[in-house]
Structure 1
Amino acid sequence: MTRVLIVGAGPAGIRAAQRLVTAGLHPVVVDEGARAGGQIYRRPPEGFTRPPQTLYGSEADKALELHRCFDRMLDAGQLTYHPRSSVLALGAQGAQVLGPDGVDTLAYDKLILATGATDRLAPVPGWQSAGVYSLGATQIALKSQGVALGRRMVLAGSGPLLTLVASQLRKAGAQVVAVLDTAPLTTQAAGAFGMALARPRVTLRGAALRAGLGRSYHAGVTLTRIAMNSTGPVAIHWQDARGRDHMTPCDMVGLGWHLRAETHLADLAGVSMAWDKVFHQWLPLTDAMGRAAAGVYLAGDGMRILGADGAELAGKIAASACLQDLGVPAPDTERDLKELRRMQRFASAMQRAFPWPAQMVRDLPADTVLCRCEAISVGDLRTTLSLSGPEANRAKSLSRVGMGRCQGRYCQLAGAEVLAAEAGVPVDKIGRLRSQPPVRPAPISAYLDKGPDARAK
């Protein structure tokens, strides 16, 4: 039996597993979550009383159907599932996986990476304070525990997730006093036309959520700083589209500018990367069906940021590519590929509507913390340029930016922007940080051989 390993149990991973199971294969699924569903359809703990319509809104039916699909396969013994587990490294022997019982190695013949995405963050002076979270973390707390992370909350950044999280918090009864979007209205309007052509219903739904925010929503802002004391944020300072200064008292700030594809494992698997000017990040190179390297297939936001619907399609298509390469009959993908291209048009238009705030990052004061893990400032990184030149990995070795527990997930793009501005070169010329195992923090104790008696427990 061919061993197929799927990393990730979100929409892409679930649909990939379903297609493989239908073809008679028994995939192994590894996922960091306690229950399958991924970030967007994250499931609360057992006994959680908030109904799906409250948790997932208009996506409740999709979420429940995905959950049931995975649970049926698991209950029927059609797949092997490793929850609360992280793939740390990939090698000739297989995938090194950290689970509740320590580190183990899972051998595979084919690998489907459905690793999803993480928040894409831009530094703001003061963002290192306790009480400053990513939008994704804010959403996780709400979905998994029904918790609002502050009593007087400000959300800032750009993109649909900003509007969605603000709407979800308000629906749950939380006080969101301001939603600060760095994208100007003119840019949003220009991109919205392409979004509406590709996915009119989704675009209208987003517009309705935006309208529901009322006068708390502000577009075209520049974030100046987050004022804080010993317990966390006390206010956020910002400029409106006309350049007027504002100060909004708060005790929590959530930040996020779209998403960043999670590509560390793809990098370790030998997948080539290329700078995407529209998405403003390094993305894997694949064929139309997700083939990325020998025996390696990509699906979902870890390949392109297309959202949940696009991830489901990409999961089916990647599994079909895997089946084709195994010589196993696979469903025709022409219709799925056509639909996926429509999702890609929508996503590209959305990225243009809500761009990365490059100039805001380039203008950061020298004392702004850039790398929160290592407490490295923008000025620290700029001073390395005379020795490192405009090259990300040399700058990392001299400054330690990207050496912390997040391994550059939250500082790499901003760091490249700072170096590019200082060197006077395009940001893609800075290059990208090489991925290193383990791709997630792992305790030393997990690697220790505790003996047969300990393992038996």
Structure 2
Amino acid sequence: MSEVNKPRIVIVGAGPAGIRAAETLVAGGLSPIVLDEGERGGGQIYRRPPEGFTRPPEVLYGSEAAKAVALHKTFDAMVAAGRLIHHPRSSVIAIADGRLQVLGGAGSRWIAYDRLILATGAMDRIMPVPGWENPGVYGLGAMQIALKAQGAALGRRLVLAGSGPLLTLLAVQLLKAGGQVGAVLDTTPMRRQLHGFAGLSARPLFALRGLAMRWRLAGLYHAGVRLERIEADERGPVAVLWRDASGREQRTACDAVGLGWHLRAETRLADLAGCDFSYDETWRQWLPKADAMGRARPGVYLAGDGLRILGADGAEVAGRLAAAACLQDLGLPAPDIAVDRRRLGRFSRFARGVAEAFPWPAEAAAGLPGETVICRCEGVTAAALRDTVNFGGGEVNRAKSLGRVGMGRCQGRYCELAAAEIVAGSAGHDCARAAGRLRGQAPVRPAPIASLLQDATADG
């Protein structure tokens, strides 16, 4: 196939899913375009520090160092050989008429595609806590980025709170780097964590590694806690008030707080690309629909945590499958997918086990005190959000138009899930599914006004 006749395939995201998708397409004789917000390929889990950073991979990635290095080398080799076109520090802010609007250092431009693979990953899933709107309160992912990219802890004495594997992993990483962690507060009771044992057994070594990390935290880790509030002054947090599993009130001094309840899929671009969604009862969030290979709609493929939250290993498999589906649909030779299909099934069972062991605290979110700020961008409280239900019914888009929840810079990425629980509960629904989901809108990232006024005919 000549270069002129080759289809233009664009991959959004250069994490494990995006890199393996690119590798599969390159092996099939194609030259994809890879767009990524990072400077170098690797994604969040295998995020690379700046050039000249001296900490070795074993320190940055722990037991996953060999995987990270292999993935980085694969991507760098394809870039160096000119087998793909890599646009780093590039954010896709809109999709329309078979084109992507891409915001980069040189401004905004449009890039056309024949086939699109979205490997957009996931982000922290946050439940608001009274006082979380203060400076010095971060997502667990933000704390991990600072640690990997700059070797910095975002505070001198930290409290980490939430639930899920990242809570334990980040605590261990911070301690290994010399950070001071005052407490690791898990809102999931220990007996509930055991519910996911059957699913976790699909990857026993991975599960045992998590238990070993938990053991290293010793007395810092507390399960089944209830978070009361984050105390703060003009400089930021000073303490976290919480109740232990027995109901006793506790106070842990700190100057920074990290929050996170596992992950939520990043689906805004899938929405703009016209993908259908369904509500997943296990994950308590809306996820795009796709077949086992990642086909979401004609010409659009999804891979990685933006489709199914399977972790880095699962994302690599999903990336290969999405690319193989793309090759099949183009009538080109595709690799044998039998082994990857079996592996994906195993990773899916494990992921379901994680979701069952560390569930989203829906009841706690629905019952947040009225003064709790739900939308940090717009300062919308739980009481104000509940008031919208009286005028607009129990639907989050109506609540958004009436009360501005989800209208800020993050477009609801941090507040939508909790807001849906509050709206549903106030409307008398027993599940956030009934409240619907916030519709994706362009631009999906903050963008300069000038970039939105540019001539839309420019095609990169």
**The two structures share one fold, judged by TM-score above 0.5:** yes
Distance in structure 2 (CA, Å) of the matches to 1:185 and 1:38: 31
SS at match of 1:364: coil
1:155-194 superposed matches below 5 A: 155-194=160-199
Give the deviation of 1:427 after TM superposition.
1.2
* Residue number in structure 2 paired with 1:231: 235
* Residue number in structure 1 paired with 2:274: 270
Indicate if the aligned counterparts of 2:199 and 2:351 stay in contact, CA closer than 8 A: no
Distance 1:449 1:260, change over 3 A: closer
Give the deviation of 1:445 after TM superposition.
2.9
Gap runs ≥5 in structure 2: 1-5
Indicate if the aligned counterparts of 1:301 and 1:307 stay in contact, CA closer than 8 A: yes
Distance in structure 1 (CA, Å) of the matches to 2:160 and 2:153: 12
Indicate if the aligned counterparts of 2:108 and 2:454 stay in contact, CA closer than 8 A: no
Distance in structure 2 (CA, Å) of the matches to 1:110 and 1:258: 31
SS at match of 1:305: coil
* Residue number in structure 2 paired with 1:258: 262
* Residue number in structure 1 paired with 2:137: 132
Distance in structure 1 (CA, Å) of the matches to 2:454 and 2:387: 44
Give the deviation of 1:449 after TM superposition.
5.2
* Residue 97 of structure 1 pairs with residue 102 of structure 2: yes
From 378, 382, 387, the equivalent of 1:374 is 378
From 35, 49, 54, the equivalent of 2:54 is 49
Partner amino acid, structure 2, of 1:189: L
Q: Which deviates further from its counterpart, 123-132 or 416-425?
A: 416-425
Distance 1:288 1:93, change over 3 A: closer
TM-score by length of 1: 0.97
Percent identical pairs in the alignment equals 63
Partner amino acid, structure 2, of 1:403: M
* Residue number in structure 1 paired with 2:32: 27
Give the deviation of 1:448 after TM superposition.
5.1
From 329, 345, 352, the equivalent of 1:348 is 352
Distance in structure 1 (CA, Å) of the matches to 2:358 and 2:124: 15
Distance in structure 1 (CA, Å) of the matches to 2:324 and 2:59: 34
Partner amino acid, structure 2, of 1:278: T
Q: Could you report, residue by residue, the CA deviation over 1:360-409 in whole angstroms, capped at 9, with x for unpaired residues?
A: 11221101000000011000100011111011111100000000010010
Partner amino acid, structure 2, of 1:57: G
SS at match of 1:446: helix
* Residue 218 of structure 1 pairs with residue 222 of structure 2: yes
Partner amino acid, structure 1, of 2:251: M
Distance in structure 2 (CA, Å) of the matches to 1:103 and 1:111: 19
Partner amino acid, structure 2, of 1:411: C
Distance in structure 1 (CA, Å) of the matches to 2:412 and 2:146: 23
Partner amino acid, structure 1, of 2:449: I
Q: Could you report, residue by residue, the CA deviation over 1:267-320 in whole angstroms, capped at 9, with x for unpaired residues?
A: 011100000000110001100100001100000000010000000000000000
Distance in structure 1 (CA, Å) of the matches to 2:453 and 2:389: 40
Indicate if the aligned counterparts of 1:102 and 1:447 stay in contact, CA closer than 8 A: no
Tell me the matched-pair count: 450
Give the deviation of 1:358 after TM superposition.
1.3
* Residue number in structure 2 paired with 1:401: 405
Partner amino acid, structure 1, of 2:49: P
Q: Which deviates further from its counterpart, 125-134 or 419-428?
A: 419-428
Partner amino acid, structure 1, of 2:299: G
1:365-444 superposed matches below 5 A: 365-425=369-429, 426-444=431-449
* Residue number in structure 2 paired with 1:109: 114
SS at match of 1:241: coil
1:284-363 superposed matches below 5 A: 284-363=288-367
Gap runs ≥5 in structure 1: none
Distance in structure 1 (CA, Å) of the matches to 2:199 and 2:70: 30
Q: Could you report, residue by residue, the CA deviation over 1:148-203 in whole angstroms, capped at 9, with x for unpaired residues?
A: 0011100000000000000000000000110000010001112124202x000000
Name the Cα RMSD after superposition.
1.1
Partner amino acid, structure 1, of 2:264: R
